[in-house]
Amino acid sequence: VSKLDFNDSTMFLHFAEDFTERKKMEEELKRSEQKYKNLWEDANDVLFIVDVNGYFINANKVALETFGYTIEDLGKKNIVDIVDEKYVHMAFKKIQEILRTKKPIEAFEVLCHSKDGKEIWVEVRARPIFEDGKIVAIQGIARDITGRKRMEEKLKESEEKYKTLVEKTHDAVYILGQTGLLFVNNRVCEVTGYTKEELYEMDPFDLIHPEDRDRIRDYVAKRFRGDKAPESHITRIITKDGDIRYCEFSVKPITYEGQTAILGSVRDITERKLVEDKLRESEKRYRTLIETINDIVFVLDREGKFTYLNKKFEEVTGYSTEEMIGKHFTKIIAPEYVESTVDRFRRGLAGEEIPMYEIEVIKKDGERIPVELNVTTLYDEGGNAVGRLGVARDITERKRMEKSLVELNEALKLINKIMRHDILNDLTIVNAALEVYKETKDEKMLDKAFKAIERSVKLINQMRKLEELTTTRELRECNVREVIEEIIGRYPEIEFKIEGDCRVLADGTFNSVIDNIINNAVVHGKTNRIDITIKCNDFCEVRITDYGKGIPEKIKDRIFEEGFFYGETGHTGLGLYIVKKVVERYGGSVTIEDNKPKGTVFVIRLRTVK
């Protein structure tokens, strides 16, 4: 407003400017500043501003709460004081990238530490702040991802555990996609015989038995379509070597690396399947592997009482499971093994690893059987020992073989003894007799030498039979009558009568058994007639009856002894010794009886072929 004097009048000049738009802009700016201030303070993420050297200029309330600093404390800090030393270099590289490019940077993750040392993982985004076209500071947003990182670590740990479990499991595990196998563990290779590389390249249906292939193709197609299909089934597979194996499959659809797939586990049940099929045809009563296992399986509680026994226990011991459940294990252990077995039980419960050991178990009928025990401790979820799980294997046959080995060694010692003593003695006699003959020309000396030579020849023939005892042979099916008919052909002057037939477990040495007994009857018994009867029941009984002069009562208990001979016709004392050892090796027995009115009966009992 301006005052003017005009023609003796006073006037006022008014100028008016419309600044409505400017006023609106000022009010909008004020509202914007308040809005930014509210966003800064109310943001859920960490907001901060640092200078180009990394020193903090400002930070919001969340930042102060997260890291435990006041705004005054933080103003004295550099990012070096917040960021973990392993990530400081990376953080400064990001600052240099912003200064160089003058652009925002992609999000990155760093590990930081709060004022009290707590680890905090953050995901950071940052952009430059300009003033007059120059970068004067850097504004950042940091999101606390500690929880996510911990979950990722747990997930990684879980994946490692799962991978270890999959590789260590006794089952074959695979993942099948629409184009083939996507994953197989080592057990798949063991079961099929193929390498992983071969399995990934081949058509997986080539592993399936041709008779089962169409059925499995149908199952797989249904699963990929989302239709219902059996989650478990038994299917035959063909290994790389062409063997047919029965396998139990457990399968389910999954999503694997973004695609529909089938997760399967496979257990080789070939042995169980064969046993189950055989038992189903004959007895129809065993259904699970543990009921058909050839070893005794048992579980004991902490007091040493049976809480579980499989069917094999009943078969081996003669006790029913009902009789023994709740009874202490010492009830069936031979007295001399009780103390040591109880001690091992206690040490096992205390956590000590107990190696396999042998004891003797007393069956219900009083018979003793040797068993090999492999026992481990059972624990509950809290890691507390709750009992012992064990497997007991009947090692009667192994013990018998060990005994047989001892007997074979004894036979070797006998051969050595004969070589060193008897034959050497005969050679000495031959040498001496010939020396005398050279000087005297006495024909009796030649006879003496020839008799000594004849004795040595007989000894050597007997030793050949002994050598057969030193060779561990697998027993096979043998026709008793055929063997006897072959042997009697060597004695045309003897009248033979044979009745019956049987098949037994024996080997080639069985010929020597029959020949020695017949030869003994002819040479020592002076018989001209021999009757042989063969009866076949649970055991095969062969009765060889001669009508000679018989065996004197006083030597009956000794005729099977090594080196025992009697009378003028006796010589090596090995023939019947060989008979006894061979028959015992077959798991049989040989005895003698008197034949009335005269003669001897040799009775051989052998295991029959079922």
CATH 3.30.450.20 fits 39-142, yes or no: yes
**Residue type at position 366:** G
In which band, very low, low, confident or very high, does the pLDDT at 240 lie, cut at 50, 70 and 90? very high
3-state secondary structure of 23: helix
Looking up tokens 């990376």 gives 90
Q: What is the average pLDDT across 536-562?
A: 87
Least confidently predicted of 248-257, 335-344, 573-582: 573-582
Model confidence band, residue 287 (pLDDT cutoffs 50, 70, 90) = very low
For the beta carbon of residue 60, count every other beta carbon within 10 angstroms.
21
What is the reported pLDDT for 128? 93
Stretch 204-218: mean pLDDT: 95
- The residues with which 55 forms a beta bridge, in sequence order, are 78
Determine contact, residues 269/247, Cβ cutoff 8 Å.
yes
Mean pLDDT of 152-175: 75
* Secondary element (H or E) of residue 485: helix 480-488
How many angstroms separate the CA atoms of 15 and 34, rounded? 35
Beta partners for residue 112, in sequence order: 83, 120
* Highest-pLDDT range among 160-174, 316-330, 419-433: 316-330
Task: Return all residues near 169 (Cβ < 8 A) that are at least 6 apart.
Answer: 185, 187, 265
pLDDT of residue 480: 94
What's the CA gap between 227 and 229, in Å, rounded?
6
- Note every long-range contact of 310-313, with CB atoms under 8 Å and residues 24 or more positions apart, other chains counting: 311/286
Q: State whether residue 175 is helix, strand or coil.
A: strand
Give the per-residue pLDDT at 596. 87
Contacts of 1 (CB under 8 A, 6+ apart): 12, 13, 14, 15
Mean pLDDT of 50-59: 92
Mean pLDDT, range 377-391, rounded to an integer: 91
Task: Report how far apart the first and last C-alpha atoms of the chain are (Å, whole number).
Answer: 138
Residue type (1 letter), 504 = V
* Confidence at residue 189, expressed as pLDDT on a 0 to 100 scale: 93
Where do the domains of the chain lie?
A: 39-142, 169-272, 293-391, 395-472, 475-610
Would you say residue 30 has pLDDT above 70? no
H helix or E strand, kind and range, residue 11:
strand 9-13
Q: In this predicted structure, what is the pLDDT of residue 435?
A: 87
CATH number of 475-610: 3.30.565.10
Confidence band for 410, pLDDT divided at 50, 70 and 90: low
- Smallest Cα–Cα separation from 142: which of 234, 238, 67? 67
* pLDDT at 235 exceeding the cut of 70: yes
58-62, 397-401, 468-472: the lowest-pLDDT one: 468-472
Q: Rounded mean pLDDT of the chain?
A: 85
Confidence (pLDDT) at 243: 93
pLDDT of the residue at 570: 47
- Residue 491 confidence (pLDDT) above 90: no
Q: From CA 54, how far away is CA 77, in angstroms rounded? A: 9
600-607 β-sheet, strand order: 495-499, 529-536, 539-546, 600-607, 589-594
Q: How far apart are CA 169 and CA 60, in angstroms?
A: 53
Using CA atoms, how far apart are residues 334 and 363, in angstroms rounded to an integer?
10
416: pLDDT strictly greater than 80: no
Give this prediction's pTM: 0.35
pLDDT grade for 489, boundaries at 50, 70 and 90 = confident
- pLDDT surpassing 90 at residue 93: yes
The answer to whether residues 59 and 50 touch, using CB atoms and an 8 Å cutoff, is no
What percent of the chain stands above pLDDT 90? 49
Tell me the pLDDT band of 569, cut-offs 50, 70 and 90: very low
CB neighbourhood size of 323 (10 A): 15
Least confident of 260-274, 299-313, 529-543: 260-274
pLDDT at 568: 52
3-state secondary structure of 301: strand
In the predicted structure, residue 421 carries a pLDDT above the cut 80:
no
Which residue would you say has higher pLDDT here, 533 or 465? 533
Per-residue pLDDT of 424-461, as tens digits, reads 656 777 888 888 888 888 888 888 888 778 767 776 76
Q: Comparing 75-84, 419-428, 518-527, 548-557, which segment has the lowest mean pLDDT?
A: 419-428
Q: What's the rounded mean pLDDT across residues 319-333? A: 94
Q: Do the domains spanning 39-142 and 169-272 agree at the CATH topology level? A: yes
Is 70 exceeded by the pLDDT of residue 290?
no
**Of 206 and 291, the one with more pLDDT:** 206
Q: How do the residues of the chain divide into helix, strand and coil, expressed in percent and rounded to 5?
A: 45, 30, 25
Select 169-272's CATH number: 3.30.450.20, 3.40.5.90, 3.30.465.10, 3.40.50.1820.
Answer: 3.30.450.20
Q: Angle at Cα 502 formed by Cα 498 and Cα 504, nearest 5°?
A: 130
Residue 116's Cβ-count burial label (10 Å; 0-12, 13-18, 19+) is exposed
Query: CA nearest 62: which of 43, 39, 82, 37?
Result: 43
Q: Where are the alpha helices (DSSP H) in 364-479?
A: 396-420, 422-440, 443-469
Q: Which pLDDT score, from 0 to 100, does residue 427 have?
A: 79
* Band of pLDDT at residue 411, cut at 50, 70 and 90: low
Residue 560 one-letter amino acid: F
**What per-residue confidence (pLDDT) applies to 286?**
43
The stretch 9-36 carries a mean pLDDT of: 67
Alpha-carbon gap, residue 422 to 455, rounded angstroms:
9
**Higher per-residue confidence, 28 vs 343:** 343
Q: Which long-range contacts (CB under 8 A, 24 or more apart) does 422-430 make?
A: 422/455, 422/456, 422/459, 422/572, 423/456, 423/459, 423/460, 426/452, 426/453, 426/455, 426/456, 426/459, 427/452, 427/456
Q: Which residue matches tokens 């239709």? A: 227
Q: What torsion do the CA atoms of 160, 165, 171, 177 make, to the nearest 10 degrees?
A: -20
Rounded-to-integer distance, Cα 202 and Cα 433, Å:
84
Q: What is the CATH number of domain 293-391?
A: 3.30.450.20
Q: Cis peptide leading into 128, omega within 30 of 0?
A: no
Predicted pLDDT of residue 503: 94
State how far the Cα of 2 lies from the Cα of 12, in Å rounded to an integer.
5
For position 400, what pLDDT does the model report?
80
Per-residue burial over 405-431, b = 16 or more CB atoms within 10 Å of its CB, e = otherwise: eeebeebeebbeebeeebbeebeebbe
10 Å Cβ neighbour count for 120? 20
Lowest mean pLDDT: which of 35-39, 82-86, 535-539?
35-39
CA gap 184, 167 in Å, rounded: 9
Instruction: Indicate the DSSP class of residue 356.
Output: P
Answer yes or no: is pLDDT of 283 > 60: no
The more confident residue out of 535 and 436 is 535
Is 50 exceeded by the pLDDT of residue 161?
A: yes
Who's near 68: CB < 8 A, 6+ residues apart? 114, 115, 116
